[in-house]
């Protein structure tokens, strides 16, 4: 199982485009998760041509977390097909719809990391589109302490396989 975390050092160097391209050509079943706290919805507005998500996405995953429902199932339930040709092989988890929504997701990140880790049990790899780098490194997430939080996120994924962080501008992959 692979977990690939994509982020950028500035505004829009093509990380989302890279994430979609990788997801559409990935050789195994894949889940592309929009984890950008900026609520840009670029994949929905661009590649998916404004398709309605019917309320699906990360906020519903947070509700499942609050209700203590299994997150792996909640994540899979909240996905949309990324391509019509291979609905079950290429999945998309929509991100935040409002800029302030990510602030309320703090307690969910840690358990979401475990749920994404467990997608390997059903043979699904994961690509995370995490937006731009924060002032102190990888995007800071409430409940995770900046870079060390993402490092621990990736280390959990490494138990089942490999994890890489891609920096969109450099286009290079760094193993943790």
| Local structure of 21: helix, strand or coil | helix
- Phi and psi (nearest 5°) for 137? 125, -140
Which DSSP string corresponds to 69-138? --HHHHHHHT-EES-STTTTTEEEE---SSGGGGGGGGGGHHHHHHHHHGGGGGT-EEEEEEEE-BTTBS
Cα(126)–Cα(165) distance, integer angstroms: 12
Q: Which residues of the chain have pLDDT under 70?
A: 11-13, 39, 45, 86-87, 133-176
Prediction pTM value: 0.77
Q: CB 103: neighbour CB atoms within 10 A?
A: 10
pLDDT digits (tens, 9 = 90+) for 65-108: 999 999 999 999 999 998 877 667 999 999 888 877 887 787 88
Residue 162's pLDDT is what?
Answer: 36
Where do the structural domains in the chain lie, given as residue ranges? 35-168
| Local structure of 165: helix, strand or coil | strand
């Amino acid at each position: 199982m692979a977990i690939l975390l994509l982020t950028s050092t500035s505004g829009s160097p093509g990380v989302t485009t890279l994430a979609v391209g990788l997801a559409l050509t990935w050789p195994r079943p894949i889940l592309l998760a929009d984890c950008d706290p900026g609520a840009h919805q670029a994949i929905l507005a661009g590649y998916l041509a404004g398709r309605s998500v019917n309320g699906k996405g990360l906020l519903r995953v947070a509700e499942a977390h609050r209700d203590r429902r299994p997150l792996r199932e909640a994540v899979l339930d909240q996905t949309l097909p990324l391509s019509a040709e291979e609905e079950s092989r290429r999945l998309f988890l929509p991100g935040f719809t409002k800029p302030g929504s990510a602030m309320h997701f703090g307690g969910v990140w840690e358990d979401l990391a475990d749920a994404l880790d467990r997608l390997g049990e059903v043979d699904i790899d994961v690509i995370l589109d995490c937006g731009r780098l924060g002032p102190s490194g990888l995007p800071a997430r409430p409940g995770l302490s900046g870079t060390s939080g993402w490092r621990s996120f990736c280390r959990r994924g490494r138990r089942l396989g490999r994890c890489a962080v891609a920096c969109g501008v450099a286009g290079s992959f760094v193993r943790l």
